[in-house]
Amino acid sequence: MRYLLLVFLLITTQIEAQNNDQKQINEIYNTALTNGSGYAWLNYLSNQIGGRLSGSLQAQKAVDYTKKILDSMGLDRVWLQPVRVPKWVRGTPEFAYIESDPGLTNNVPICALGGSVATPLGGIKAGVVEVQGIEGLKVLGKEKIQGKIVFFNKAMDPTNIDTYMSYSGSVDQRYAGANEAAKYGAVGVIVRSLNLRLDDFPHTGAMSYGDTPMESRIPAAAISTNGAELLSATLKLNPDINFFFRQNCKMLPDVDSYNVIGEIKGSTYPNEILVVGGHLDSWDLGDGSHDDGAGCVQSMEVLRLLKATGYKPKRTIRVVLFMNEENGLRGGTEYAEQASKNNEKHIFALESDAGGFTPRGFSFDCNQANFKQIESWKSLFEPYLVHLFVKGGSGADIGPLKNDNIVLAGLRPDSQRYFDHHHSANDTFAHVNKRELELGAASMASLVYLFDQYGIK
Amino acid sequence: MRYLLLVFLLITTQIEAQNNDQKQINEIYNTALTNGSGYAWLNYLSNQIGGRLSGSLQAQKAVDYTKKILDSMGLDRVWLQPVRVPKWVRGTPEFAYIESDPGLTNNVPICALGGSVATPLGGIKAGVVEVQGIEGLKVLGKEKIQGKIVFFNKAMDPTNIDTYMSYSGSVDQRYAGANEAAKYGAVGVIVRSLNLRLDDFPHTGAMSYGDTPMESRIPAAAISTNGAELLSATLKLNPDINFFFRQNCKMLPDVDSYNVIGEIKGSTYPNEILVVGGHLDSWDLGDGSHDDGAGCVQSMEVLRLLKATGYKPKRTIRVVLFMNEENGLRGGTEYAEQASKNNEKHIFALESDAGGFTPRGFSFDCNQANFKQIESWKSLFEPYLVHLFVKGGSGADIGPLKNDNIVLAGLRPDSQRYFDHHHSANDTFAHVNKRELELGAASMASLVYLFDQYGIK
């Protein structure tokens, strides 16, 4: 009899807990959708500050602005964490054309890849060879590449439903293409933009020369997908055309910058830390609304929503706006180093860095016991059409926190439109929908709430 | 032993069927994403033809264009089904202002509701009373409404995740507001646009006067959400302000039009008919890309995808582009009448009329046995992140086909952005994403394929 009573109590307690969770989560969503702050913050970041490349004046303004907002939120502690960051500058607008016959030219939209060296002052004009990804270099060999501009034209695979898989499948030509092509004697590289649609926006992004000495580095630029189609078609008609491009970007010495951090102290387990974050820096061509202004304001909104719904966290919940994700990951690296140095115990970290679109779910980098616990929460998210709970990557900035005793997670918004905007002048505030942004923030806050309630296994 | 063998054979046959289904569905998605036609068709419908209000020249051009496309697809039969449709015309652009003091005016964006009568030639100027939905009329009573313009300002509820629920919750003031307000002596009505965001687009849509005689009908217009906020704020400062509006829309006699129909004859059960469709007419303010150009080209694409993947249907598969969904439903009504008259056996009908956004699933109007069969197919859609299989409504045009021996279904795309565009000048081709449109068509084709394979219970 006493045993039965115990079982009964246990079951009713579980049901009550589930009901309380559903109630709290419902309040989070309602508050986000009726009284959200993230969209207004993003408007400021995007339209009053704009693109926030590491080391730029705008990046510093974004640090100041977000710190000011966090200061106003009644958190227990807000601070700046110093980070040295690289400073690459684009210089004057790039210029390029296809010369199909001497004197007969078609201008095409290009942009320097982040980290690239400049062309000579007067630009480069040379013949072009087209390859499909880095593997294509070997096929052609040194003889055909020497003295030429290599045109990497591997398109993103349209058949993946998860567009990040298509990105992963083509990004190596952008990141390492110049360094590899230089080994074959190329004088420059032009890379097809990582964009699933055909349009006129060139998409920048990080590239690296590895240890290649300065004098052996060749300039690299992205060309719009329409430009890539035109260049490829022109080459088919006449393989002997020339391509001209000019850019005067350069790398300056490192400068001081900051991660922006705020926290609510936990009432019961203050030493267990939950992190939610995005990256404050962005590329310079658009205003970085999707990548990753959205993730920053959603992360700030998580703490605001927990407070606005009257929730008192058991554990310490921290928002971290990381600096320099795009071209160095210095912020994420520094944050993890300081956490380790201070013996901080991080049990959960969630990053939003995939655009401010309708949230579909989360991916988790964790052990099986924790994944099982997470799966038991799935039904709580059903009313919000958040259905995807998968194992997989989390976020670049929180990656350095990885160890055996932490759950890392990434928000997974609908990915179909993301690469229309990513790293291009088309990443602007007008393309963020207020409700979609708010639903993402509410989903994140709900997940953080559950980890705060139940900890990790 | 023989029994065991039978069970074994049964199981392996089922596994093989499941594998074949997954293979066919995968081919459908791959074909849609690599070699889709719907986006180019929609481009023509939207940018070469434009808004297609019933009875307009554009509606006729849309009939001609889509018939021509169906004719080119190698179907077994393509035909036009005559329908008489209402012809309402907007006339010259509407004009409205708030007069906060004599001579002190603020213009606000309005548009006549579909079916409304005109104002007198010189417009109407009168005092304004604000109400929250139709229920608000009773609260104020005849004394306060007599001689006034009624301003229906019930906003869509932002807390529903399914935005159609919010639409349903506010649409009565648009559809019946004028007719109800007239009973209280109102001289006109202004209705807050059914839009979840704040912007400057007025959203039109159908309204009805019921049996009210012509001389007792009062004009009705929608005001943009920003305009509604301004009007409401102005009324709070001074309840005695005037509102002016002028519109010269009118209803003309019915005219001839058509449903556009094409079919592939079934090889095994040619008398069992599966319908897939959308509506060809649209409102006149935008180009009707989401509502419902998207649904039309997706439905045409379903037949093209089945043919392109080499699939030979067992049952007859028919695409129907319905005329006059927006202001009369004459096409859907006529189609069902003809089907009944000809003793046609329809077993399944699927409509896409909720925008060309990322597909989330389907809703079904059917009995439990069929719903159980449908649920057994869920896992086939998982790789495409199509997860929502719910009971509920289907589509307005296929509704008249309802009986006990048919499954009706509606595509359920992500609904967060839909009412940013719906029935306004903001419903244009630029807001449709090619991949999202294609994923919807592939999802529809996959469901049609499964009903063709397995029939209904």
State whether A98 and A126 are in the same domain: yes
Q: Of the candidates A200, A219, A248, which is a domain's last residue? A: A248
Which residues in chain B come in under a pLDDT of 70?
A: 1-2, 4
Query: Which of A34, A159, A417 lies closest to B30 in CB terms?
Result: A159
State whether A197 and A165 are in the same domain: yes
Q: Could B33 and A158 be called an inter-chain contact, meaning their C-beta atoms sit closer than 8 Å?
A: yes
B-chain CB neighbours of A388 within 8 Å are 385, 387
**Which amino acid type is present at position A201?**
F
Residue A329: band (very low, low, confident or very high) from pLDDT cuts 50, 70, 90: very high
Query: Which of B34, B388, B433 lies closest to A159 in CB terms?
Result: B34
Residue A1: band (very low, low, confident or very high) from pLDDT cuts 50, 70, 90: low
Q: Tell me whether residue B232 is exposed, middle or buried, using C-beta atoms within 10 angstroms of its C-beta: 0 to 12, 13 to 18, 19 or more.
A: middle
Q: Is A319 in contact with A303 (CB distance < 8 Å)? A: yes
- Measured in angstroms, the CA of A363 and the nearest CA of chain B are apart by 14
- Measured in angstroms, the CA of A10 and the nearest CA of chain B are apart by 33
Assign 3-class secondary structure to chain A.
CHHHHHHHHHHHHHHHHHHHHHHHHHHHHHHHHHHCCHHHHHHHHHHHHCCCCCCCHHHHHHHHHHHHHHHCCCCCEEEEEEEEEEEEECCCCCEEEEEEECCEEEECCEEECECCCCCCCCCEEEEEEEECCCHHHHHHHHHHHCCCEEEECCCCCCCCCCHHHHHHHHHHHHHHHHHHHHHCCCCEEEEECCCCCCCCCCCCCECCCCCCCHHHCCCEEEECHHHHHHHHHHHHHCCCCEEEEECCCEEEEEEEEEEEEEEECCCCEEEEEEEEEEECCCCCCCCCHHHHHHHHHHHHHHHHHHHHCCCCCCEEEEEEEECCCCCCCHHHHHHHHHHHHCCCEEEEEEECCCCCCCEEEEEEECCHHHHHHHHCCHHHHHHHCCCEEEECCCCCCCHHHCCCCCEEEEEEECCCCHHHHCCCCCCCHHHCCHHHHHHHHHHHHHHHHHHHHHCCC
Asked if the C-beta of A161 comes within 8 angstroms of chain B's C-beta atoms, the answer is yes
Q: Could B159 and A30 be called an inter-chain contact, meaning their C-beta atoms sit closer than 8 Å?
A: yes
Q: Of the candidates B248, B280, B305, which is a domain's last residue? A: B248
State whether B266 and B316 are in the same domain: yes
- Measured in angstroms, the CA of B338 and the nearest CA of chain A are apart by 39
Q: Could B158 and A387 be called an inter-chain contact, meaning their C-beta atoms sit closer than 8 Å?
A: no
Asked if the C-beta of B151 comes within 8 angstroms of chain A's C-beta atoms, the answer is no
pLDDT value at residue B11? 75
State whether B81 and B226 are in the same domain: no
State whether A241 and A387 are in the same domain: no
Residue B113 belongs to what H/E stretch?
none
Nearest Cα to Cα of residue B371 among B391, B385, B394, B352: B391
A-chain CB neighbours of B163 within 8 Å are 435
Q: What is the pLDDT of residues B228-250, one digit of tens each?
A: 999 999 999 999 999 999 999 99
Residues 6+ apart with CB under 8 A from B14: none
State whether B269 and B185 are in the same domain: no
Size of interface A-B (CB pairs under 8 A): 62
Name the token pair of B142: 């005849």
pLDDT value at residue B210? 96
Give the residue from B29, B162, B358, B362 with the most A CB atoms within 10 Å of its CB, the best one to mutate: B358
Nearest Cα to Cα of residue B400 among B310, B332, B451: B332
Query: Which of B34, B158, B385 lies closest to A360 in CB terms?
Result: B385
- Percent of chain A residues past pLDDT 70, beyond the cut: 98
Name the token pair of B378: 């869920």
Query: Which of B385, B417, B433 lies closest to A433 in CB terms?
Result: B417
* Residue A9: pLDDT over 80: no
Query: Hey, is B289 helix, strand or coil?
Result: helix
* Residue A229: pLDDT over 90: yes
Query: Which of B29, B161, B434 lies closest to A385 in CB terms?
Result: B161
- Percent of chain A residues past pLDDT 90, beyond the cut: 95
Residue B20 belongs to what H/E stretch?
helix B2-35
Nearest Cα to Cα of residue B123 among B234, B222, B219: B219
Higher pLDDT, A177 or B16: A177
Quick check: is B257 in a domain? yes
Quick check: is A3 in a domain? no
Tell the residue number behind the tokens 């694409």, with chain if given: B301
Please report, for the domain that includes residue B153, its CATH number. Answer: 3.50.30.30
d(CA B439, CA A359): 17
* Residue A2: pLDDT over 70: no
d(CA A235, CA B258): 48
Quick check: is A8 in a domain? no
What b-and-e string marks burial along B56-90, b requiring 16 or more CB atoms within 10 Å of the CB?
A: bebbbbbbebbbebbeebebeebebbebbbbbbeb
Quick check: is A320 in a domain? yes
B-chain CB neighbours of A415 within 8 Å are none
Query: Which of B416, B435, B436 lies closest to A433 in CB terms?
Result: B416
pLDDT value at residue B18? 83
Quick check: is A211 in a domain? yes
Residues 374-393 of B with CB under 8 A from A: 383-385, 387-388
Q: Is B261 left (phi over 0), alpha (psi -120 to 50) or beta?
A: beta
pLDDT value at residue A14? 79
d(CA B331, CA B336): 9
Residue B115: which domain range?
92-248
B-chain CB neighbours of A164 within 8 Å are none
pLDDT value at residue B456? 96
Give the residue from B25, B39, B161 with the most A CB atoms within 10 Å of its CB, the best one to mutate: B161
Please report, for the domain that includes residue B373, its CATH number. Answer: 3.40.630.10
pLDDT value at residue B1? 60
- Measured in angstroms, the CA of A34 and the nearest CA of chain B are apart by 6
State whether A278 and A410 are in the same domain: yes
- Measured in angstroms, the CA of B288 and the nearest CA of chain A are apart by 20
Nearest Cα to Cα of residue B320 among B343, B341, B348, B290: B348
* Residue A294: pLDDT over 70: yes
Q: Of the candidates A219, A248, A277, which is a domain's last residue? A: A248
Asked if the C-beta of B268 comes within 8 angstroms of chain A's C-beta atoms, the answer is no
A164 phi and psi, to 5 degrees? -65, -30
d(CA A48, CA A69): 15
Q: Could A436 and B420 be called an inter-chain contact, meaning their C-beta atoms sit closer than 8 Å?
A: no
Q: Could A158 and B435 be called an inter-chain contact, meaning their C-beta atoms sit closer than 8 Å?
A: yes
Quick check: is A291 in a domain? yes
Q: How many domains is chain A built from?
A: 2
Asked if the C-beta of A197 comes within 8 angstroms of chain B's C-beta atoms, the answer is yes
Q: Could B433 and A420 be called an inter-chain contact, meaning their C-beta atoms sit closer than 8 Å?
A: yes
State whether B314 and B357 are in the same domain: yes
DSSP B47: I
State whether A112 and A185 are in the same domain: yes
State whether B168 and B295 are in the same domain: no
State whether A49 and A100 are in the same domain: no
Active site residues of A: 325
Q: CA B321: distance to chain centroid?
A: 12
pLDDT value at residue A16? 84
Asked if the C-beta of A435 comes within 8 angstroms of chain B's C-beta atoms, the answer is yes
A-chain CB neighbours of B161 within 8 Å are 29, 383-385, 439
Q: Could B29 and A414 be called an inter-chain contact, meaning their C-beta atoms sit closer than 8 Å?
A: no
